[in-house]
Amino acid sequence: MVVAAGSNVAKFKLRRGNSSTHNVVSGDNSDGDLSRMNSSVCFPSMVEVERDPSCVSFTTFNILAPIYKRIDPQNPGLRESDFRSLWLARNERILDSLLSESSSIMCLQEFWVGNEELVHMYEERLGDAGYRLFKLARTNNRGDGLLTAIHKEYLSVVNYRELLLNDFGDRVAQLLHVQSVSPLLKNQKGSFHQEFLMVNTHLLFPHDSSFCIVRLHQVYQILQYVELYQRENRLKPMPIILCGDWNGSKMGHVYKFLTSQGFVSSYDIASQYTESYADSNKWVSHQNHRGNICGVDFIWLCNPNQARKPLKTSWAEAVFSMLKYQLRKASLSEDNAFAFLKGDHCVDSVTYFSFSEALRKVKLFDVPYGLCFQQLQDLWNQADVDGNGVIDYEEFKQKIWNSTCPEHVLENLIGSMEDSNTDQEQETIGFKVNNAMLFPHEVEKGLWPEDYSLSDHARLSAVFSAARMRCSVSQNCT
């Protein structure tokens, strides 16, 4: 089955995947990584004597595939995959680390699916600890892929889908519809089972600025399919969790796009960090191959009571934000930017032709992996507010130059208040962020420890607890 995503780059295939299942055996929590967690916070560890069943814990970890791990800086072609003893020992330690936490759900990226011995090791150890495994290779035999492990004692998988984005980065994503094994909160109608949708993915690395539009569209496709899955299955409002290596920081366009769609970063919520530049540098999670450190690993949460703009609108605003960034980077003022979009035409407005020419000049359109003609048309329709075939100065300011995140938030709040007065509401269960942490702990202070060798990424874990909330039927967060 192939579903068009509105792009010549990105049409994605959807398929149901197979999983491997194993028996339940107890795990271990010997490394003490969770010692900083407040004792009142429940983290679903296998060794806890008393466990609050309303808690669900997530771990996301890019474990650095041996085929990418460089052994000698002077010889980039020498990789860990050439030395069995090295990758075997490191992955045994990774598994020890994961099993010590015993999170309800583990989301791994850069999992070496091309090596049968390593795959068997993960299947055996995680299977024996009670996890059901779902693995997905990247397309075009890249060698690595994704692994999602769900603890069968706490959670059952209602449905599993694989998303093949079929872009030039051969990126993929896993979508799982998950339900708690035991009922949680009760009301007059009976007991609730916690249900939620979750995604595990790994976005393209931004080798240069021209890749930004591709990364943005990868997220757009994923959210498109989440909406499609909810609509086709007529799902009730439920939380959405996005886990993975997003290969972009809090200051990037992907982060802003996701926040405009109602998602919040669980680690930032737990740490009470804002979206300010100062807070964006307080933690890191990755030391890339260039030696730079940055925060790129996230566990995103969108609750069912969160008002959201139409997905296409948020996507267009994100692209306009990229356009504005390019214009300001060229030191253009507001007036000069409008003149740039007008081009050489004498009329005091932007035409479709001049608009497309301007986007071509800033390398957003008609370049490899850039916008396609349909996406260009979608952007034009968003900017031409009155539909008269041109963009005047006021439309330019409203849609391109002055569109900011605070306005997004304000519009969402106003819309949700208006809906609450007229639409029928229903009770649903969402998630509250109890806590989140990174390991090794030095990265929480923006430092990368020299003696850390598990991966070039930190491990991020978050704990959520169930919370009752009201959700407008029309809002429905789908």
Q: Is residue 35 part of a domain?
A: no
- Indicate whether 104 pLDDT > 80: yes
pLDDT at 264: 95
pLDDT at 404: 53
Q: Is residue 134 part of a domain?
A: yes
C-alpha to C-alpha distance for 425 and 477, rounded to whole angstroms: 12
Q: Where residue 408 falls among pLDDT bands split at 50, 70, 90?
A: very low
pLDDT at 51: 52
Q: Is residue 478 part of a domain?
A: no
Q: Are residues 347 and 262 in the same domain?
A: no
Q: Is the pTM of this model over 0.85?
A: no
Q: Are residues 356 and 240 in the same domain?
A: no
pLDDT at 391: 93
Alpha helix stretches (DSSP H) within 62-183: 84-101, 116-128
CB distance 250 to 277 below 8 Å: no
- Indicate whether 369 pLDDT > 60: yes
- Indicate whether 38 pLDDT > 60: no
Widest CA span in the chain: 76
User: Which residue would you say has higher pLDDT here, 220 or 474?
Assistant: 220
How many separate domains does the chain show? 2
- Indicate whether 440 pLDDT > 70: yes
Residue 371: which domain range? 317-401
pLDDT at 186: 61
Q: Are residues 281 and 394 in the same domain?
A: no
pLDDT at 187: 56
Torsion, Cα 153 157 158 160, to 10 degrees, reads 180
pLDDT at 456: 97
C-alpha to C-alpha distance for 338 and 358, rounded to whole angstroms: 10
Return the structure tokens found at 404.
Answer: 């900011």
Burial label, 412 (beta-carbon count in 10 A; 0-12, 13-18, 19+): middle
Q: Where residue 251 falls among pLDDT bands split at 50, 70, 90?
A: confident
Residues 104-124 have a mean pLDDT of 98
pLDDT at 73: 80
Q: Is residue 413 part of a domain?
A: no
Q: Are residues 324 and 299 in the same domain?
A: no
pLDDT at 463: 96
Residue 63 neighbours by CB distance under 10 Å? 25
The rounded percent of the chain whose pLDDT value lies above 70 is: 80
Per-residue pLDDT of 174-228, as tens digits, reads 999 999 998 766 655 667 788 999 999 999 988 776 678 888 989 999 999 999 9
Residue 16 neighbours by CB distance under 10 Å? 9
Q: Is residue 266 part of a domain?
A: yes
Backbone angles phi, psi at 15, to 5 degrees: -150, 150
Q: Are residues 247 and 356 in the same domain?
A: no
Return the structure tokens found at 382.
Answer: 């968003």
Q: Are residues 59 and 197 in the same domain?
A: yes
Return the structure tokens found at 424.
Answer: 């029928």
Q: In the predicted model, what is the mean pLDDT of the chain?
A: 82
CATH number assigned to the domain comprising residue 329: 1.10.238.10
Q: Are residues 395 and 441 in the same domain?
A: no
Q: Are residues 193 and 237 in the same domain?
A: yes
User: Which residue would you say has higher pLDDT here, 4 or 474?
Assistant: 474
- Indicate whether 15 pLDDT > 80: no
CB distance 42 to 226 below 8 Å: no
Q: Are residues 108 and 230 in the same domain?
A: yes
Q: Are residues 322 and 301 in the same domain?
A: no
Per-residue pLDDT of 51-102, as tens digits, reads 566 789 999 999 999 999 999 888 888 999 999 999 999 999 999 999 999 9
Q: Is residue 45 part of a domain?
A: no
CATH number assigned to the domain comprising residue 153: 3.60.10.10
- Indicate whether 39 pLDDT > 60: no
Among the listed ranges 127-131, 283-287, 324-328, which one has the minimum average pLDDT value? 324-328
Q: Is residue 25 part of a domain?
A: no
Task: Describe the crossing of helices 212-232 and 311-329 by its angle, rounded to 10 degrees.
Answer: 170
CA contacts within 13 A on the Cβ side of 45 = 24
Q: Is residue 204 part of a domain?
A: yes
Q: Are residues 352 and 245 in the same domain?
A: no
Q: Are residues 184 and 72 in the same domain?
A: yes
